[in-house]
Structure formats: structure tokens, C-alpha cells
Amino acid sequence: MKCLIIDAVHSSIAEELGKYMQVDTKMLPTQEELVALIPDYDVLIMRVDPAINKEILDAAKNLKVIGVCSVGLNHIDMDTAKEKGIQVINAPGLNGNAVAELTIAKMLDIARHTIPACYDVKVNKNWDKYKFVGSELRGKTLGVLGFGRIGQRVGELGRAFLMNVVAYDPYLPAHVFEEQKATSMTIDEVLKVSDYVTIHMPLTDETKNLFNAKSIAEMKDGAVVLNMARGGIVNEKDMYEALKSGKLGGYGSDVMENELAAGGLTEGAGFDSPLFECDNFIVTPHLGAQTVDASRDIGAHIIAKVKEALSL
Ligand code: NAD
């Protein structure tokens, strides 16, 4: 048997599957390249690129399993895969802790001004402890919007910092909030009472542009917003106004409005966001799931499922 790996995935996958089959790597082939390569292979290991269309699956005469080292499967023609008896395995829920820890990191960075303080020391050669007096998370209210896997883990970590956790998620039954020791509220209530509001819902027609001038106006003065979900949920122009005017105390984000369309940010597409002018805007390049721990756990899951599918 033969396995083809086409993205940066944990090394344990090649090591373990290599005990049973030949493992080749071709990083991020185009769809055309994959059509030419795929007929030889029994197993394909990938993340999200390239999209697996009917043409690739038609060419995949020997393919039995696709192991997708991420959550979503909308980049795969699932109907054709099913028709051809190709099993598609994904890895849901294994990066939640990584995203949740990054959320807490950003809350602490904003609360303690670590990024501007570090810049002041290293770049300005200024050692001034009175310039960056911070605040603590202890006793503050953490409002979670979207109380799924990641939102619940953020709530749990927030409680460890002695925060009061309130949450908005109209799609969950009451017992989930009770089990997680979070108070269920409407979105307006969460916005009103929270010192930190953290976004963990998917980008949908309902959530697109949800954070705009109107919702920001409902928030406490000086409150902080965190967005580890999707850029399109926050209106960047309105967020800029709120940071500039001092209405909000900070915006910590792992995602940008123009990120998906541009495949990241490029000069003129995303880097022109007015948010980059604000010192109290801190951003990372969609790093939420990028930990060695999540990659290892996803690798272990994919290995087990591929072996099960092939009865190895
Ligand atoms: P999840 O499906 O477990 O949880 C999402 C929750 O949002 C669900 O409980 C759902 O009921 C709720 N929800 C849906 N629509 C809502 C609405 N209109 N209002 C309020 N709540 C709503 O998903 P998850 O694993 O917790 O991931 C959440 C989001 O985080 C994903 O959609 C994705 O966009 C983002 N994410 C980002 C990274 C990153 O690297 N930054 C990594 C993984 C996921």
C-alpha cells in the first residue's frame, strides 16, 4: 500500500503508517498535480488544501481513506467520496484547548500591557514600571458568545482565574450552562455586564458583522473584546472607532475580516485595516490551533482511524 501526505502534519503519522506502507510527501500540490499523483495511492493525508473535487476522486483508483488533520470537511466532495466507498476521517474537537489558551493569553496581554511594555524595554530601551500599570482578571466578568467546545474551555480557564462566567448560546440546553457553572444570558445582557467579551461562534449569516457600533455601544466603557473565531464577525471600522475613542479597552484577535478572501493578509488586502493604528489592538496570524500538542493529538487520532479503516 501507499500513502501520500500533502501538508504539514505531525511526523508521527508518517512514522507509524510507514510501518505498514510506503509513505511519500508532496507538499501542497495543485489540484492538477494531485490528479496526476493520486492513482497510485491508497491513503491521502491532508489538511484543507487543495480542495478535493470529483476529478481528483475519479482519478483516485486505489484510494481507500482520506485523513483530514482538521475539523471542517467542506473542501471535500463528500458525495463522490461516499459513492466511491472512500472513507473520510477528520479530527474534531482536538484543538479546542489550544484556541482557549490563546484567548486567555490575549486577555492577560491586554490586562497587563505586556506587548507595549516589552516593546518599550527592548526597542525604546526604557525601564519604566509605572507606565504600564495593569489590572487583574480576578473578580471580572467574562462573557462568552458561542458556548461550544472552545467557549466552554475558555469559561473553565476563566473560572480558574476567579472570573465570573456568563454566556450566550441560544442553541444549547440549559443543563450545559449549569454543568459549566456559567450563567446563561441574552446577548444584550452579556454585552452589558461583561468586562471581557470573547467570541467563539461560527461565522454565519446570523453572526456576520455582529460586533458593530450598535453592539459596542451596549458594552461597559473600557471593556475588552477577544475574537478567536472569524474576522467577519467583528466590524473592523467600528472596532477601530471604539478603540480610538477609548470606549473599549482593547481588542485581541487571531483573525481578520479580509483574511479568508485573501488567503491570509497581503499588502492592500487586510493590512490596510485601520486597526493596525491602535496600540490596544493585538493580533496573531490565525495561530489558535497551532500548537505541537494539538498537532500531536490530531496525528494520534488520524493514525488510529486510518489503521481501523484499513484493519491494520
Ligand atoms: P462548536 O461548534 O463546538 O461551538 C460553536 C458554538 O457556537 C455552538 O455551541 C453553537 O451553538 C454556537 N452558535 C452558533 N451560532 C450562534 C449564534 N448565532 N449565536 C450564539 N452562539 C452560536 O465550535 P468550536 O470548536 O467551539 O469552534 C468555534 C469557532 O472557533 C469555529 O466556528 C471557528 O470559527 C473558530 N475556530 C478558530 C480557530 C483558530 O485557529 N483561531 C480554531 C478552531 C476554531
Amino acid at position 157, single letter: L
Respond yes or no: is residue 149 known to be catalytic.
no
Contacts from 65-69 at CB under 8 Å and sequence distance 24+? 65/89, 65/306, 65/309, 65/310, 67/13, 67/43, 67/302, 67/305, 67/306, 68/302, 69/7, 69/9, 69/10, 69/13, 69/45, 69/295, 69/298, 69/299, 69/302
Q: In the structure, what pLDDT confidence band is assigned to residue 261 with cuts at 50, 70 and 90?
A: low
Separation of 243 CA from ligand 1 center, angstroms?
Answer: 25
Give the per-residue pLDDT at 71: 84
**Mean per-residue pLDDT over the chain, rounded:** 95
Q: Does 150 sit in the ligand 1 pocket, CB within 6 Å?
A: yes
Separation of 230 CA from ligand 1 center, angstroms?
Answer: 9
In terms of pTM, does the model score above 0.80? Answer: yes
Separation of 88 CA from ligand 1 center, angstroms?
Answer: 22
Separation of 28 CA from ligand 1 center, angstroms?
Answer: 27
51 Cβ contact list (under 8 Å, min separation 6): 31, 75, 76
Give the per-residue pLDDT at 74: 84
Distance separating alpha carbons of residues 143 and 169, to the nearest angstrom? 11
- Of the residues 200, 230, 236, 301, only one is catalytic, namely 230
Q: What is the 3-state secondary structure (H, E, C) of 95-142?
A: CHHHHHHHHHHHHHHHHHCHHHHHHHHHCCCCCCCCCCCCCCCCCCEE
pLDDT in tens, 146-176: 999 999 999 999 999 999 999 999 999 999 9
Most ligand 1 atoms within 8 A of CB, residue of 200, 208, 284, 291 to mutate: 200
Q: Does 172 sit in the ligand 1 pocket, CB within 6 Å?
A: yes
Sign for the CA dihedral angle at 113, 116, 120, 122 comes to: positive
ipTM of the complex: 0.99
Beta bridge partners of 167: 144, 184
Torsion-angle region of 204 (φ positive above 0: left; ψ -120 to 50: alpha; else: beta): beta
Give the per-residue pLDDT at 270: 79
Respond yes or no: is residue 189 known to be catalytic.
no
Mean pLDDT of 106-128: 97
Q: Of all protein residues, whose CA lies closest to atom 44 belonging to ligand 1?
A: 229
